[in-house]
Structure 1
Amino acid sequence: MAKLRNDGPALADDDSPEQMLDKLTQRLTARKTEETKWDDLYNGEEPLLFASPEFEEQTGGLFEGFSDNWCRTVPDAVRERLKVTAFQSADGELDKDAMDAWRRNEADVEVGLALLDALVVARSHALVWNPTGSASDITFLPPGQGVVDYAPGTRRRRRAGMNLWSDGSNDFATLFVRGLGGQPAMVYRRQRKSGGAWEPRTIGVRTSERVDFPNPMGEAGAVPIVEIANRARLGGAPESDIKQVASLQRTVNTLWAHLLTGADYMALPQRAVLGMDKPMRDIRDNEGNIVDEEEIPLTKFGRDRLLWLPKVGASIAQFSAADLRNYLVVIEAAVRHIAAQTRTPPHYLLGEMSNIAADALTAAESGLVAKAKDKQTYFGADIREIARLEALASGDAARAESIAMGKVVWRDAQYRSEAQYADALTKYKAIGVPDEALWRMIPDVEPEQVQAWIAMREAQAQAAAAATAAAFSEFGPKQDTGSEDGGDQPGEEAA
């Protein structure tokens, strides 16, 4: 039996809406610590965790806010290769209505932000609704504003979902519940003073509006919040892509701090004066009598670049500068480990690319491409569910069923040059692949552009046929008006 995907207090069929809201809010609160940790690492805002207490005491807050941040590069490299280009229905045709709704809600832009949040903090959410009854709405929710409860023993069947937000003084929540225990599927809208008890919403709700009402999504009231989960295993919760990088990132930051500290103290040769006391100077009173003595600040000699050695036997010794390359070797090894463990191409992290061959570049990026395609599979299932809910919200149950059996079309995760694409498409053409299929394989070509090309081709074919018919009628065979042998008879003259 599949392990529950719920990571907090379990909902009961007889729970009141307020009890459900409290339990779901507890889940969001429990997740916040981990989400904040991964978000701080992504933003490079974590302190030095691997530095010794003695080092921290010596440097104080000198390195506060410093980070050689690879935790941003790793998820960004994957997110850049995740672009939805179309939705395909069960019959293999592209769903224009789904793509129109996708663009109308600017989901083609914001889905990238949602996927990045999922890569960084392990999950994000999307809410599909039809607030006006005329046009569906797709909203991607920031971390901490969405949560989904799954039916016991299942991994996909959503039993409830909550959208939570705050205006600084009040918390607001909308709870969507599938029909439970013979009860109808409902939508509950609540508010509370921060930390207080939930009560029916009055702020922002017209007196003519109902606070609680049946879920209009059809299909027994489908929960319109979808969890976009990253690296969700059968027996565990979703994981952040940064989790694997965190330890090495902290190591790199600490090594850089040691290197910079060493550079401050030991990067230049250090000199020592041997066989001589500290330089002193006399302190005299107003009459010129020596009353005391004081040390001469050593900074004066460094500034003047001059030192007198009046004592017999005094000499100068020198300590050689520290070799800081050892730090760089270890840092580079740590970065290579990050590249290998996260399947990020080395040239993304180390910048080692000079006159590299195309095949070598393809081989270097093969791990990242495979990782991106794997993400497309699992994220694609969640995005397909969003498109299905959009069809339900639009009142088109047949289209929703077709999308459920269709798929999400992604841009090719492999970056290729135009020459490589042209060569590949020419070879596909030679083995009989239709033009329409070839056009769809070209990166960044929208389905509407393919349809325009098809219309252009048909118009060209019609124009060519019309031109051929006109030429044939002008220069082709004409009606025979002469003698039987088709020529003038010898000796005949015109009258």
Structure 2
Amino acid sequence: MADSQSVLSAVMAQRDSEWNDLRRVDRYMRGQHAPSYMPKKSQREYAELVQRAVTNWLPLVVGTVGQRLYVEGYRDAEGQESSPAWPHWSRNDMASRQSLAHRASLTYGVSYVAVEPGDAGPSIRPYSPLVMTGVAEEPDAEWLSGAGRYLRADSHNGILGKVWRVYDETAIRDVWVADAGDDGGEDSAPEIAELSTVTHNLGVVPVVPFRNQWADSPFASVVEQGEVWPLISTQDALNDTKVSLAVAQTAAAHRQKWAAGMTLPEDIDGNPINPFKSHPGELWVAADESVRFGEFGATDLTGYLKSVEMHIQHLSAVSQVPPAMLLGGMVNISAEALAASENGLRARVAERQALFGEAWGKVLRLAAGLSGDKVSAEATDAVILWRDTEARSLAQTVDALGKGVTMLGIPQRAAWEMWPGATAADVERWVRMRDEQAALDTVADLMFQGPGPAAAPVMSEGAPVGDH
């Protein structure tokens, strides 16, 4: 129990140090931003404008990268067939669950994938750092030294507490921890109690961290490695500009009218009464011909609009998301120019594929180890296959792949693997279909070819010509 207690203590200390930053990122992703400046005596309607003016750009930045990260295969060292560990992927519905690991890492800087023994085989589940925390002896350690996942609030022997799942190098334990200040007295249950234990004997902690990037400073926090944290200040500046724009277009965009040369009526207390309503649909009329009417100029909103566009461009530069994806307006842009504008995004996606690909390889090797497949568990040279999500013209793709096969001698199967949207299962199915068709064609040739030429008669030695 001492090992579990030490791991859990380290996990909770790490979680406490990260929690405030993680929650701030979480709030911003859900649109709960820091309020923009408003005067203390501002009217209630302006407070409502502040809420409506906020546009949350951060999920779009995360989604733009996350949508281009899709694992579709795991190939063995020979490079021909899927690894025997690959069925664990489909058995755990990872085709859909993988996005949680990718997006959580992009958002918070790290996510975790746990591999646990299950009734139907190894269980693979991704988790956000809001519910799971990993600890390591060194920042660049290959494996974690421990991990913990919050499960639920529960009581034990009448004492309120929380249940955590603790992962170490030999077992996975569910541990109950009493809430601070609720020890129940001297005769109560211990502060920590072990509820259940499942051994795995993998020799390593069966939790793999998915780092969005490796920290280059010992002082860098986890969230600083994510995509959201560096953009918070730009999002706040954009919110302030949007609020100013909303106030300007609400209060001053319509031309304000004025009247001069008239005597205002008064109430019973002698206070002047405004006989007119300043509204775009109101018509001002006065009986006195000497009264003069006019209007002020409307507020020019061009500066606000340019400021909004500038902040979005800053967002694009920092996140490497092409401006066209944020601002729109893609008119008369050549395919070459569009491809060039996405160079930064492609480089960012390629970097994430390298980082996450190594992590997914560890996950599948852990699953193979739990299932008793020692060969796949030690296959560190197996590789993760990523779906090609880059937008290309289908005609150009067909032309390029066709020339690669006919002119450069690229194997046909290799060209199929580069077909947009083709999965490893698709390629294997195409290979079987080709082989089946080739076999049918061979049988057809044998069945429908005409009989061969008749064999010449063999004459026995000395027989008359007319006797054969």
TM range (shorter): 0.7 to 0.9
Structure 2, gaps ≥5 residues long: 156-160, 183-189
Deviations 1:96-132 (A, max 9, x none): 4332211110111111122111111111111101133
C-alpha displacement of 1:16? 4.5
Residue 129 of structure 2, aligned match among 143, 157, 167: 143
Is the CA contact (8 Å cut-off) linking 2:212 and 2:226 kept in structure 1? yes
Counterpart residue identity of residue 107, structure 1? M
Residue 177 of structure 2, aligned match among 179, 186, 192: 192
Q: Rg larger in 1 or in 2?
A: 1
* Structure 2 CA distance for partners of 1:352 and 1:378, relative to 1, 3 Å: same
C-alpha displacement of 1:56? 6.0
Alignment of 1:146-161 (within 5 A): 146-152=132-138, 154-161=140-147
User: How many residues end up aligned between the 2 structures?
Assistant: 444
Residue 383 of structure 1, aligned match among 344, 357, 360: 360
Is the CA contact (8 Å cut-off) linking 1:162 and 1:225 kept in structure 2? no
Are 2:295 and 1:308 equivalent residues in the alignment?
no
C-alpha displacement of 1:47? 3.1
Residue 163 of structure 2, aligned match among 168, 172, 180: 172
Is the CA contact (8 Å cut-off) linking 2:8 and 2:148 kept in structure 1? yes
Residue 97 of structure 2, aligned match among 110, 117, 138: 110
Q: Which moved more, 1:453-462 or 1:150-159?
A: 150-159
C-alpha displacement of 1:296? 3.2
Please name the residue that 1:451 is paired with. Answer: 428
* Structure 2 CA distance for partners of 1:120 and 1:301, relative to 1, 3 Å: closer
* Structure 2 CA distance for partners of 1:19 and 1:425, relative to 1, 3 Å: same
In 1, the alpha carbon distance for the partners of 2:265 and 2:72 equals 77
Is the CA contact (8 Å cut-off) linking 2:56 and 2:235 kept in structure 1? yes
C-alpha displacement of 1:234? 3.7
Residue 419 of structure 1, aligned match among 384, 395, 420: 395
Is the CA contact (8 Å cut-off) linking 1:346 and 1:352 kept in structure 2? no
Deviations 1:418-457 (A, max 9, x none): 2222122112112111111111111332222222221222
In 2, the alpha carbon distance for the partners of 1:171 and 1:295 equals 66
Deviations 1:366-423 (A, max 9, x none): 2111111111011111111111111111111211111x22221101242213222212
Please name the residue that 2:351 is paired with. Answer: 374
Please name the residue that 2:273 is paired with. Answer: 296
Deviations 1:58-94 (A, max 9, x none): 8345413642221111111000100001112223244
Counterpart residue identity of residue 200, structure 2? P
Alignment of 1:65-464 (within 5 A): 66-132=53-119, 134-152=120-138, 154-167=140-153, 170-178=161-169, 185-195=170-180, 198-202=191-195, 211-212=196-197, 215-218=199-202, 221-235=203-217, 236-238=220-222, 239-280=225-266, 295-300=272-277, 305-308=283-286, 310=288, 314-402=291-379, 404-430=380-406, 431-464=408-441
In 2, the alpha carbon distance for the partners of 1:336 and 1:306 equals 45
* Structure 2 CA distance for partners of 1:151 and 1:92, relative to 1, 3 Å: farther
Is the CA contact (8 Å cut-off) linking 1:136 and 1:394 kept in structure 2? yes
In 1, the alpha carbon distance for the partners of 2:70 and 2:355 equals 14
In 1, the alpha carbon distance for the partners of 2:109 and 2:278 equals 58
In 2, the alpha carbon distance for the partners of 1:168 and 1:94 equals 47
Deviations 1:152-181 (A, max 9, x none): 474223221222221476421122223xxx
Please name the residue that 1:4 is paired with. Answer: none
Query: Aligned-residue CA RMSD in angstroms?
Result: 2.9
Is the CA contact (8 Å cut-off) linking 1:45 and 1:65 kept in structure 2? no
In 2, the alpha carbon distance for the partners of 1:434 and 1:240 equals 40
In 2, the alpha carbon distance for the partners of 1:21 and 1:56 equals 49
Are 2:19 and 1:41 equivalent residues in the alignment?
no
In 1, the alpha carbon distance for the partners of 2:2 and 2:214 equals 28
* Structure 2 CA distance for partners of 1:148 and 1:38, relative to 1, 3 Å: same
C-alpha displacement of 1:313? 5.4
Are 2:24 and 1:26 equivalent residues in the alignment?
no
Aligned with 2:135: secondary structure?
strand
C-alpha displacement of 1:293? 5.2
Deviations 1:268-308 (A, max 9, x none): 11122224343336x5xxxxxxxx65543445585752332
Is the CA contact (8 Å cut-off) linking 1:44 and 1:65 kept in structure 2? no
Deviations 1:321-343 (A, max 9, x none): 11011100111111112112211
In 2, the alpha carbon distance for the partners of 1:120 and 1:163 equals 19
* Structure 2 CA distance for partners of 1:60 and 1:298, relative to 1, 3 Å: farther
In 2, the alpha carbon distance for the partners of 1:110 and 1:142 equals 12
In 2, the alpha carbon distance for the partners of 1:480 and 1:460 equals 37
Counterpart residue identity of residue 250, structure 1? D
In 2, the alpha carbon distance for the partners of 1:110 and 1:53 equals 46
* Structure 2 CA distance for partners of 1:326 and 1:384, relative to 1, 3 Å: same
Please name the residue that 1:181 is paired with. Answer: none
In 1, the alpha carbon distance for the partners of 2:299 and 2:30 equals 32
Is the CA contact (8 Å cut-off) linking 2:151 and 2:164 kept in structure 1? yes
Is the CA contact (8 Å cut-off) linking 1:175 and 1:187 kept in structure 2? yes
TM-score, normalising length: structure 1: 0.82
Aligned with 2:239: secondary structure?
helix
Deviations 1:454-473 (A, max 9, x none): 1222222222222333345x
In 2, the alpha carbon distance for the partners of 1:376 and 1:198 equals 43
* Structure 2 CA distance for partners of 1:29 and 1:167, relative to 1, 3 Å: same
